[in-house]
Amino acid sequence: MKSVKVLALAMLFLLTSMIPLVNVEGAKEERRETDIGYISEKWRAGLGTGLGSLNSIKSADIDNDGEDELVFGNAQGFIHIMDWDSDSNGWSDKLQSVDMGGSVKGMEIANIDDDDALEIAVGYNWVSDIGKVKIIDGLNLTAEANWTSGVSWSHGQWTAGWPYGLAMGDLDGDENTEIAMGDDRGFLWVVDAISPEIYVGRDVTPDEAEWYMDVSAKVGKSVADAWGVTFGQFDEDDAMEVAVGTKEGWLAIFDGETEEMQWKIDMDGTMNQTVLLQSYYCRFRR
């Protein structure tokens, strides 16, 4: 009798252990069928293991050869540029590298002068709590005039350490290119992309900048990092707008000519929206 019970229990445990296996295998087969034609890897490059984390990837025809390049920075302080290889129908893993001297965080690509090549603006942590921005030519990969040593950003007693968000373009409609930078102190800077400094050879200071904006004061809440910055044409005037995203979840849009805040939203909190139209405002809840 005992042997019958033991045999029955053994069969029960065996069946119990097999059930999840059957379900899992069935799920795998179903997953394989649904995955067919959905997404697949087309290309990869053997970049090695010593690059560190890859940041701020961009694509653009930086050298005006008719084909886009991949441009990205890494935690080791290098900018890497990868070319499209038409013969092998893939990206070349022969990297062209530029040593920035510190961990790369922000990057933007635009044409700031009269030549055919695009320029690459790079924000990087140069040393300790000092961050810099450098603009390099997309054709010869050398620094643009007035940016050769990198430009740091001084608040007075302390310096911006991590230039996160970068944007370039004619922000205010004056036919000159500006560069905007969001820093790790919650400030938005805008300077002339050709001549960022009045007093050459030292940090950019608030009196030299076209904009020196405390984003915290604008949104009415504490902001530690202005991580995302971009330019866009959101209305019908000649000036562009600048959008700023913060670590704390705020998104704010400012007029590129007047610096007035046009709109803000707390993406990480109450989700209240405030739309500012000249001296009037309208608040509504989602």
Looking at residue 90, its pLDDT comes to 67
DSSP classification of residue 10: H
- Same domain, yes or no: 26 and 125: no
Same domain as 138, residue 252? yes
Residue 83 lies in a domain: no
**Which residue from 225, 128, 218 is spatially nearest to 181, judged by alpha carbons?**
225
Cβ pair 161, 131 in contact under 8 A: yes
pTM (2 decimals)? Answer: 0.75
**Containing structural domain, residue 14:** 1-35
Structurally, how many domains does the chain consist of? 2
Q: Which is higher by pLDDT, 101 or 55?
A: 101
Residue 278 three-state SS: coil
CATH of the domain at 154: 2.40.128.630
Tell me how far apart the alpha carbons of residues 164 and 193 are, in angstroms, rounded to a whole number: 17
Q: Are residues 10 and 117 in the same domain?
A: no
> How much is the pLDDT for 27?
43
User: Would you state the pLDDT for residue 86?
Assistant: 65
Average pLDDT, integer, range 6-15: 46
| Residue-wise pLDDT tens digits, 156-186 | 888 888 888 899 999 988 889 999 999 888 8
Taking every pair of Cα atoms in the chain, the longest distance, rounded to a whole number of angstroms, is 99
pLDDT score recorded for residue 178? 96
In a domain, 73, yes or no: no
pLDDT at 261: 94
Find which of 9-13, 82-86, 88-92 is predicted with most confidence, using mean pLDDT.
Answer: 82-86
- Look over the chain and give the mean of its residue pLDDT values, rounded to a whole number: 77
Residue 231: other Cβ atoms inside 10 A: 19
How far apart CA 70 and CA 82 sit, in angstroms, is 5
Q: Locate tokens 């400030």: which residue?
A: 187
Helix/strand/coil for 11:
helix
In a domain, 86, yes or no: no
Q: Which of 3-17, 59-73, 124-138 has the lowest mean pLDDT?
A: 3-17
Residue 79 lies in a domain: no
pLDDT reported for residue 18: 45
Residue 46 included in any domain? no
Quote the pLDDT of residue 192. Answer: 94
Together in a domain, 3 and 109: no
40 burial (CB, 10 Å; 0-12 / 13-18 / 19+) is exposed
pLDDT given at position 14:
43
How far, in Å, CA of 124 to CA of 104, rounded?
4
Q: Is residue 54 part of a domain?
A: no
Residues 255 and 152 reside in one and the same domain: yes
- Answer yes or no: is pLDDT of 44 > 60: no
pLDDT at 254 over 50: yes
Could you tell me if 3 and 131 lie in one domain? no
Q: Which residue has the higher pLDDT, 95 or 156?
A: 156
Do 111 and 231 lie in a common domain? yes
111/8 same-domain check: no
Domain membership flag for residue 207: yes
Residue 176 located in a structural domain: yes
Place 188 in a pLDDT band, splitting at 50, 70 and 90.
very high
C-alpha–C-alpha distance, residues 122 and 190, integer Å: 15
**166, 229 contact by CB (below 8 A):** yes
